[in-house]
Structure 1
Amino acid sequence: MKESDILGLLHHQNLVSLYGRTSRHCKKHMLVYEYISNGTLSKHLHESSSDKLPWQTRLNIAIETATALVFLHDSSVIHRDVKGSNILLDENFTVKVADFGFSRSLPDHVTHVTTIPVGTRAYIDPDYYTSGRVSNKSDVYSFGVVLFELISSIHPSLVAGTDNETLAQFAKRKILNNELNEIVDQSFSCGSDDNILDMISAVAELAFQCVQCPKEFRPSMKQVLETLEGISKGKWGFNQMT
């Protein structure tokens, strides 16, 4: 299913809206989207000219992105390219997930498909990269990388000062060594109240679960969303669902 077909069928407050497309008779096929004025999450996290996003804004971005992914998965669609530059923000910092060029629609009762791996390497599920088998859990992995990005403000490609580690590898190692403070954005680790630090720690634990391999150890996006909503209400810990 093409990007225009997916967005033509699916409508959600946290998905970018498709307004139209050029006629099939035009030489160039172009899609017309709503204008999202505040740019990408990546811009706000990694460009020095951007103001630091406060923690509550980052947590809201995580919740709204997870909400969009739950909607896609409930609609039997795998995004396949979840990353900071595909998370757009409007003037109120409301999330609009974009870029469905790599998305796959799953037939009923099918949990995965085999394809040539596509996406951005630092965000790609290692299981998918090695086997070519993509599933909803591949989006969960990519979203886990986004969570680490929100916590740290570190770009997910190779982390400077490491032995060619991606952000996911670097963050997992630091968490296993009880060194979470070394990946948390310094604007939070200095002067933040204990409630914010507790929330960051809980989100880091959730991100750790999202990037587990093999994929069977990862939560579903519904579990991820419910856990994030619990964290926002002061309830720590991973939300186990049956």
Structure 2
Amino acid sequence: MATYTDGTPVPEDGKYHVDPANPMVKVRYLEPWYPPGVTEFFSGGNTARLGLLPDGTVLKYVRDREDRVALNSLNVEHSILSALGQHDRIVNYLGKHEHGILLQRALNGDICSYISKHEHDNISLQLRQKWMTQAAEALAFIHSKGVIHCDIHPNNFLLDEQLNVQLCDFAGSLFGSLDGGAMESTRFFLPRDWRDPPNIKTDLFAFGSVMYYIMTSREPYVDLSDDEATAKFERKEFPHVEGFKCGSVIKGCWTGDFRDAEDVLKAILEESLAEN
């Protein structure tokens, strides 16, 4: 089932419909298709899906093979992952496939799915701190290469067998003249005209919300409507983070105090060292 950003279903009429929460996105309902050889399917977005191949690799492919925007986004992801190369904090790219691109499987899923399967108190502070540090390393690395992710979110940070972080999903990212067209979801969105392109500051704002999620197992203002959460952000009213591990770093990302992700990483490490 195709859904809008807010989770409501798209009409099953085969026509394109504008996403109410993101006017830049149009989606339509499609009967699913299954690339040959895929043995298991993972969750995917409105434009792409993930399937497991017999050799254990993951195939990312577009839902609608006639969707030029989705095909372009997959080509953007190929170009960006190729340019980034191998890095411990980036999903391992294995190259092109006739139906999409190949990725190494992250055996522990993503941060969202991992946290949802575990009681909050059963995830140690040390592990949460590791995730924040490694996620900041990933962001600092891609920014150093000129890549703006555009959709920094806990479900785009994968966890490998050792629960180490790997950033993924560059299909919507910006890289030079390449533009995948993505934009952050509500609770990770720096208030601005939606026509303004994402940049380092918008990635950092979203990262503040990622850190908040890692520490609390909840998105900021999860109990409020999207409009109410947006209004809070516009008034620069943020959730309380006093007493949190790296609380000052989280707030600094939201308030725009950091110049770049490298500064965020340094602040996380400094706070860690100060408490040891």
TM-score over 0.5 for the pair = yes
Deviation of 1:44 (Å)? 2.4
SS of residue matched to 1:20: strand
Change (3 A) 1:173 1:67: closer
- The superposition leaves residues 45-90 of structure 1 with CA deviations (integer Å, 9 ceiling, x where unpaired) of 2345787321111111111111111111110110111110000001
SS of residue matched to 2:155: helix
1:155 maps to: 219
Deviation of 1:137 (Å)? 1.2
2:257 is aligned with 1:220: no
Deviation of 1:159 (Å)? 2.1
Pairing partner for 1:205 from 248, 251, 268 = 248
2:89 maps to: 14
Unpaired segments ≥5 residues, structure 1: 24-28, 108-112, 182-196, 237-242
How far apart, in 1, do the equivalents of 2:180 and 2:249 lie?
Answer: 28
Matches within 5 A, 1:63-78: 63-78=133-148
SS of residue matched to 1:126: coil
Q: Which shifted more, 43-52 or 54-63?
A: 43-52
Of the two structures, which has the highest relative contact order with CA contacts closer than 8 Å and spacing of 6 or more?
Answer: 1
Please give the TM-score of this superposition, normalised by the length of structure 1. 0.71
SS of residue matched to 2:151: coil
Amino acid at match of 2:111: L
Amino acid at match of 1:18: Y
Identity %: 23
Pairing partner for 2:190 from 125, 130, 143 = 125
Aligned length: 199
Kept after mapping to 1: 8 A contact 2:172/2:182: no
CA RMSD of aligned residues (A): 3.2
SS of residue matched to 2:228: coil
Question: Which one has a larger percent strand, Structure 1 or Structure 2?
Answer: 2
How far apart, in 2, do the equivalents of 1:161 and 1:71 lie?
Answer: 33
Deviation of 1:209 (Å)? 1.0
How far apart, in 1, do the equivalents of 2:118 and 2:108 lie?
Answer: 15
- The superposition leaves residues 142-189 of structure 1 with CA deviations (integer Å, 9 ceiling, x where unpaired) of 100011112211134x522689336x85995443xxxx47xxxxxxxx
Question: Which one has a larger percent helix, Structure 1 or Structure 2?
Answer: 1
Amino acid at match of 1:34: Q
1:31 maps to: 101
Matches within 5 A, 1:72-221: 72-106=142-176, 118-127=183-192, 129-156=193-220, 158-160=221-223, 164-165=228-229, 169=233, 172-175=237-240, 180=241, 200-201=244-245, 203-212=246-255, 215=256, 217-221=257-261
Amino acid at match of 1:119: E
2:53 maps to: none
Change (3 A) 1:133 1:171: closer
Kept after mapping to 1: 8 A contact 2:174/2:180: no
SS of residue matched to 2:166: strand
